[in-house]
Amino acid sequence: MLKVPEHQVAGRQAIDGKLGPLIDNSGHFYKPLQDDDERGTRELTFYHSFSSNTRIPHHIRRFFPVFHGTQLLKASDRSGLRPHLVLQDITSDHLNPSILDIKIGSRTWYLEASNDYIQNCFHRDKTTTTVSLGFRICGLQIYNESGFWKPGRKLVRNFTADDVRSVLRKFVSSNVGPEPDCCFAGSVYGGCDGILERLLELKTWFEDQTMYHFRSCSVLLLFDKESFLRGKTPFAEFKLIDFAHVVDGNGVIDHNFLGGLCSFIKFVSQVLADLKGSTMEDKI
């Protein structure tokens, strides 16, 4: 039985008769291939290339969704059978996940795209934090005991740098009020297997890899805050998603993605630094 993803925070959604992704109960995410432009073909080409590329280190592959091929399925918009990418459902092992979708890079367009697409991206990049910070938040949901805080897309698009800092703190807090406590920051962002350490591992790869340029690609952060609240071992992770605009690197480092990733790492690091400073002040 296919259904609409419950925890999708950005992108096209399969609601109100629209075309969008579906999931099943076996941990699979079905993403419809676009037939109105080259996006579907480009993303499928990337997955085939990445899956068979022996130069991709094993420890880097874990940061990408598992690719299971394609499958013909009835589209959510009732347009008939349509090929879908069959991917790992990243949220399937999480009960009530808090999720952040971060689009990385100060430029989301690429030269091979149509002029209309470039102009649309150029406008959105300038009017969000994409240009100023090198990344932007595309969507989020943060779980607390009363449910999810999930701001609308218009509000998210208007986020400032200060809003981004606030969201990164709320993401690892037991509250989503004006003064987030960041009580989960050390476990989620910090530690030898925390999100920051994994981001740094990914950064090291991007400092050398010249095979792909990742335009308009996102980093998805998620963890079960409910596990913390119930005293259970947390399960925090991140994946790279959305590869419809990946282009050949042609032997050149992807400075656009790398620069945005470095900027995002600084923001995450600052949350931990502020937490450490606050802890030191409490001891004085």
Which segments of the chain have a pLDDT < 70? 35-37, 228-229, 231-235, 277-284
Question: What is the reported pLDDT for 195?
Answer: 95
pLDDT tens for each residue of 151-170: 998 999 999 999 999 999 99
Q: Nearest 5°: phi and psi at 150?
A: -135, 85
User: What stretch of H or E contains 29?
Assistant: strand 28-32
Question: What is the reported pLDDT for 176?
Answer: 79
> What residues contact residue 128 under an 8 Å CB cut-off, 6+ apart?
136, 157, 159
Question: What is the reported pLDDT for 284?
Answer: 30
| Closest among 64, 51, 63, 105 to 215, alpha carbons compared | 105
| Integer Cα distance of 265 and 276 in angstroms | 17
Please provide the distance, in angstroms rounded to a whole number, between the alpha carbons at the two ends of the chain.
58
Domains and CATH numbers, the chain: 22-88 (no CATH), 98-282 (3.30.470.160)
pTM score, two decimals? 0.91
Do 160 and 129 form a contact (C-beta atoms < 8 A)? yes
Question: What is the reported pLDDT for 234?
Answer: 62
pLDDT tens for each residue of 75-112: 998 888 999 999 999 998 888 899 999 999 999 988 88
| Integer Cα distance of 164 and 138 in angstroms | 11
Do 122 and 109 form a contact (C-beta atoms < 8 A)? yes
